[in-house]
Structure 1
Amino acid sequence: MPGQQQRKPTSAINQQPLADFKVGVDNVIFSVDITENRLLVLLVMRQQEPFANYWSLPGTLVRQGESLEDAAYRIMAEKIRVNNLYLEQLYTFGGPKRDPREACDSYGVRYLSVSYFALVRFEDAQLITDGVTGVAWYPVKDVPQLAFDHNEVLNYGNCRLRNKLEYSPVAFDVLPKMFTLNDLYQLYTTVLGENFSDYSNFRARLLKLGFLYDTGVKVSRGAGRPASLYQFDADAFAPFKDKPLVFI
């Protein structure tokens, strides 16, 4: 880009042979448990070295003749059943020594990870546990030390999720078809934190934008007065597509 200086390789790097890579994919799959207001990430327990008995993101090495996207979908199909799963490429992690197997490989093979990201509806996502051990939804705020550099990958995915909530209708993909404004607000506070906006401002801004449709149906929850159920209007949202800070 203009104004940026390109990093010049050092003479030591110039003298090194070209790197030989193995390529893997790692998936950061989020969900929101709106009944308990928890942001969750899908983790698997590793059964072999390196990092045996550590939690990790679902991942796999890419096979001959397989695309990166196909590998990402393959590993997900082994861990979870969900309708209309959408994965988008997140980032490529390729720093030297990110994988302990590099030190054991006499051929100097490097391990590259292309990460993918998704947000799925918690109620519709069925974990595959037959013949598989250690697959679980884990609260993001309680995630332990993960295998490899997966904490870094997870943090990057969490930043992507927070950004997407600001400019895309991704939240409506995980809510029921009809929802209250409080349901939507609780989802945002679960991901962004309780201090991102107060409810009254959030409600007023959304209704002013005009892409939420009041169905005329009301629902009673607890002792309060009945709340209106809304639906997301994709056509009305079209003029706002990719514009930042639409919701907050």
Structure 2
Amino acid sequence: MIDPTINFGKNSVADFKVGVDNVIFSVDTQRNRLLILLVKRPHDPFANYYSLPGTLVCTGESLETAAYRTLSEKIEVENLYLEQLYTFGEPGRDPRENETSYEQRYLSVSYFALVRYEDTNLITKDNQKAVWHLLKETPQLAFDHNRILRYGYQRLRNKLEYSPIAFKVLPEAFTLNDLYQFYTTVLGENFSDYSNFRARLLKLGFLTDTGLKVSRGAGRPAALYRFDEDAFALLKDKPLVFI
């Protein structure tokens, strides 16, 4: 119930500027590194700080279009899929609000994606150099972007439990150890025992043995698998836990 004693007068309505900020993760499967896309800011506020790639939304532009626009200036990648993560709009999240006594507020709608490291090309433009940064060594970021990044990382961890997002990043044919290494890179080495992980994934029935094997090092050749999207479609409405 609305408190009738609160004064919702003419001056109580905030003037919002709306921006988008993108949390773009990549897993370097060759070196088992979890990376986050960052941009160094050339101007105030937070000049020379790293931030998530973002932009203010232009007149007549949708939020999603703005998110894709700013990324197209920072990274080249095929088939990039973005999903909306969360909206951040607390007073004081942008220092420019202090200059107007909070009469003008800055709201951020964040987006989330995971891309294949090998398929990306970073773009340097207008002194805003995009870089891949190790997630575990993320510096203090501009604005509240460390908080946005934490939300994004939690979303990534959650999606690994119930969605086939990993197979969008792995090669078409992969070993079960490749898949296990992907999960340990994102979740940490102690997330699961390999034998239990292997048994659970094979039991779900959407991995197809290609009949091919690959030799790496002195060990026995390992079977190559493919993700069967049709088999997964039969399970997509059921609660799955991959790990």
Could you tell me the TM-score, scaled by structure 1's length? 0.93
Q: Which residue of 2 aligns with 1:219?
A: 214
Matched, 1:72 2:67: yes
Secondary structure in 2 matching 1:134: strand
Shift of 1:221: 0.6
Unaligned runs of 5+ in 2: none
| 2:124 match | 129
- Write the letter of the residue equivalent to 1:59: G
Structure 1 segments, 4+ long, off by >6 Å, are none
The code of the aligned residue for 1:236 comes to A
Shift of the 104–158 alpha-carbon distance from structure 1 to 2, 3 Å rule, reads same
Match of 1:246 in 2: 241
Equivalence for 2:22: 27
Q: Identify the residue that residue 60 of structure 1 maps to in structure 2.
A: 55
Amino acid at match of 1:101: R
* CA shift digits 1:29-88 (9 cap, x unpaired): 000011111111100000100000000000000000100000000000000000000100
2:83 paired residue number:
88
Alignment-derived partner of residue 158 in structure 2: 163
The residue identity in structure 1 corresponding to 2:122 is L
Distance 1:176 1:132, change over 3 A: farther
1:1-248 correspondence runs (5 A): 8=2, 11=5, 14-15=8-9, 17-105=12-100, 108-129=103-124, 131-248=126-243
* Preserved contact between residue 92 and residue 102 of structure 2 (Cα < 8 Å): no
State the 1:245 CA deviation: 4.0
Give the letter aligned to residue 158 of structure 1. Answer: Y
Does the 8 Å CA contact 1:26/1:114 hold for their aligned counterparts?
Answer: yes
CA-CA distance at 1:103 after TM superposition: 1.0
Q: Under a length normalisation based on structure 2, what TM-score does the superposition of the two structures give?
A: 0.95
Change (3 A) 1:187 1:13: farther
Deviation for aligned residue 1:134: 2.7
TM-aligned CA deviation for residue 14 of structure 1: 3.6
Letter in 2 for 1:195: N
- In structure 2, what residue type is equivalent to 1:60? T
Report which stretch shifted further, 10-19 or 195-204.
10-19
Cα RMSD of the aligned pairs, angstroms, is 1.6
Q: How many residues align structurally?
A: 242
The answer to whether the 8 Å contact 2:41/2:128 transfers is no
Letter matched to residue 43 of structure 1: L
Return the alpha-carbon distance in structure 1 between the equivalents of residues 237 and 85 of structure 2. Answer: 17
Give the drift of 1:239.
Answer: 2.4
Distance 1:13 1:35 in 2: 59
Deviations 1:191-214 (A, max 9, x none): 111111110011111111110011
Which runs of 5 or more structure 1 residues have no equivalent in the other structure?
1-5
